[in-house]
């Protein structure tokens, strides 16, 4: 499973590294957007939607964990592309 910041980098088309993780994640948050994927969709194909839209329908719009430790504790593995 990708993390929030990894998904943000994919949305912005940036190289995945520590600097871009923080920058892309911050840009999404500043725009009040969140990276998400559809319930029956591919979690490796993130898209950005409004934070309130995701919060109102979390079953359809799935969220990414904020950090790797959350992802690993759920039995998922973070992928660096």
What's the whole-model pTM score?
A: 0.81
Q: What is the mean pLDDT of each run of 10 residues along the chain (81 residues)?
A: 96 96 97 97 97 96 85 47 44
Phi, psi angles (nearest 5°) of residue 62: -80, 150
The set of long-range contacts for 72-76, using a CB threshold of 8 Å and a minimum separation of 24, is 74/1, 76/1
**C-beta separation of 8 from 44 below 8 A:** no
Phi, psi angles (nearest 5°) of residue 72: -70, -35
Pairwise CA distance, residues 59 & 41, whole Å: 12
Q: What is the pLDDT of residue 2?
A: 95
Q: What is the pLDDT of residue 3?
A: 96
Q: What is the pLDDT of residue 70?
A: 56
User: Maximum distance among all alpha carbons in the chain?
Assistant: 31
């Amino acid at each position: 499973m990708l993390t929030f910041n990894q998904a943000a980098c994919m949305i912005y088309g940036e190289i995945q590294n520590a600097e871009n993780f923080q920058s892309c994640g911050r840009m999404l948050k500043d725009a009040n957007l969140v990276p998400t994927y559809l319930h029956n969709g591919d979690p490796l194909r993130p898209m950005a939607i409004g934070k309130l839209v995701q919060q109102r329908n979390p079953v359809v719009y799935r969220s990414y964990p904020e950090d790797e430790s959350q992802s690993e504790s759920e039995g998922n593995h973070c992928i660096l592309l």
